[in-house]
Structure formats: structure tokens, C-alpha cells
Amino acid sequence: MKIVVIGGTGLIGSKLVNKLREHGHEAVAAAPNTGVNTLTGEGLAEVLKGASVVVDVSNSPSWEDTAVLKFFETSTRNLLTYEAAAGVGHHVALSVVGTDQLSESGYFRAKIAQEKLIKESPIPYTIIHATQFFEFIKGIADTSVVGGKVHLPPVLFQPMAADDVATAVGKIAVGAPVNGIVEIGGPEQFRLDELVRRRLGMLKDPREVITDPNALYSGAKISERTLVPGNDARLGETRFETWLTQSAGTTRAA
């Protein structure tokens, strides 16, 4: 089966391409650095020839409100148009758990717009809502700094390893379209502020994490369960401590 992975050279995309190839599929990494640009349409017609599935794990290079909205709307419209012409039978898109509750955030308004376009398209689809990745915990701290300190609400948080994300996306991509949303998450729940504090400590990052019930997440107010999936979610196997050990080993090997 030919599966085109949009954003196929990034963190999730590169892992996904490798996993699909290991299972005997013709997985093609499509990204600007491989000659495929979803914003301009460059290379799309060629790369989609003979494709059964398109998996979109791409992300906007800018998270500024106007730029990110333009990226997801333009990219998704172009993809769906070219997919229809190529006879693609399954459009898979990676999104985020809680997206529909985060419309105060410019980034998540863009993801909501992306999902709306997919749902309105005639192409069968599956939208995957993933929880945050272990790899991006420090990034959450970076975007939550107020007055030199990291302000985070003590809400539930169920992050997962990027490798588990790629595994789950791969299984969904080769399955039948659900024409709806599938949630995936990590095997453990934490408190957001506590886990970020713990991760910064491990990284010898001196920034103080302030537990602030009124703090925003990516510009949006969140509730206790906004960032955790429902009971039907497919859960990854990698626990946080295991990931830490694995990532430390990878760092040493590099």
C-alpha cells in the first residue's frame, strides 16, 4: 500500500515512515525538503499518484495567530483537492486531545479549522487526537513564562512518547477510515505543573514553576480534564520513567 506522509521528515513523520516501511508498505516522506510543498501545491500531484492513504502530521513553522491559521487552512485545502484528483481513499490527520475546548488559542483555532475542512470533504477520513508528547514538555515551559517564572495550572496531563504516537498513527493509517475522531494518549496521568517542574529539574533548568490555577495553556483557559483523553482512548505503552531512560541512552549514543 502506498502511504504518503505529509511532514514525513519531522519528529513523528520520520518515525512513522520507518514503521510503515518495516511493515512492507510503500511509505513516502513528503515535506518541503523532499520537494513537496502543501502551501503552494508544489509536488503534490506527483507524490500522490497511486497513493491509497495520506497521513498529515505536518505543523506550521509559525504559531502566530494569522500565520498558523493560513498554514492549516491552505495546506489542508490543497491536500484534499489533490487527494480527490488522485483518488486517495483515506485522509488521516494528527491533531490534539482537547482541541475543541481550546478555541481561545490561536493555534487551536487553526487546528479546529483544519478539522472542519477534513470533515466537510468527501474523502473518507480519520482525525487522531493525541495528548502532548514527552519530547515537548520543556516546550510547554518555554511558552508559559510570565515574569521569568513558569506559570502552569495543576490540571491532569497524560503525555505519551513520540514513538508510541507514530505506532498508533501507523495502525490507524492502514485501517479503515472511521469518519470521526480517535483519541490516543499515554499510560499514566500526572499533574501538568508537577511534571514540568520535574522535567526542568532533570534538565538542570533553573526556572521556577509556579502552580497557578488561572494560568493559560497555549493562550487558553483549561479545565481539569481538557488535556486528558476519554475512556475509549488507545493508550501507548511507554511510561515516563522508561522514556527518560531511553532518551538518556540515545543522547549518550549520539
| pLDDT tens-digit profile, the chain (254 residues) | 999 999 999 999 999 999 999 999 999 999 999 999 999 999 999 999 999 999 999 999 998 999 999 999 999 999 999 999 999 999 999 999 999 999 999 999 999 999 999 999 999 999 999 999 999 999 999 999 999 999 999 999 999 999 999 999 999 999 999 999 999 999 999 999 999 999 999 999 999 999 999 999 999 999 999 999 999 999 999 999 999 988 875 544 33
**How far is it, in rounded angstroms, from Cα 80 to Cα 120?**
10
What is the C-alpha to C-alpha distance for residues 241 and 20, in angstroms, rounded to an integer? Answer: 27
How many residues are present in the chain? 254
Distance, in Å, from the CA atom of 23 to the CA atom of 20, rounded to the nearest integer, reads 5
Rounded to the nearest 10 degrees, what angle do helices 106-120 and 65-86 cross at?
20
- The CA–CA distances, whole Å, from 121 to 6, 62, 84 equal 18, 26, 9
Q: At what angle do helices 162-173 and 11-22 cross, to 10 degrees?
A: 50
- Cβ partners under 8 Å of residue 95, min gap 6: 111, 114, 115, 127, 128, 129, 130, 181
In this structure, what C-alpha cell is assigned to residue 210? 509556579
Cα gap 38→18, rounded to integer Å: 22
Q: What is the pLDDT of residue 249?
A: 58
| Closest C-alpha among 211, 170, 222, 142 to residue 17 | 170
- This prediction's pTM: 0.95
User: If you ran DSSP here, which 8-state letter would residue 175 be given?
Assistant: S
Residue 91, C-alpha cell as written in the block: 485522509
**Residue 184's domain spans which residues?**
2-253
Q: What is the CATH number of the domain that holds 156?
A: 3.40.50.720
Under DSSP, is residue 156 helix (H, G, I), strand (E, B) or coil?
strand
**11 within 8 A of 135, measured Cβ to Cβ:** yes
Q: Is residue 163 helix, strand or coil?
A: helix
Q: Note the pLDDT of residue 253.
A: 38
H or E element, residue 198:
helix 192-202
Q: Which of 215, 242, 213, 239 is nearest to 158 (CA)?
A: 239
CA 9, CA 12: separation in Å to the nearest integer?
A: 8
Give the count of domains, the chain.
Answer: 1
Whole-number pLDDT of residue 163: 97
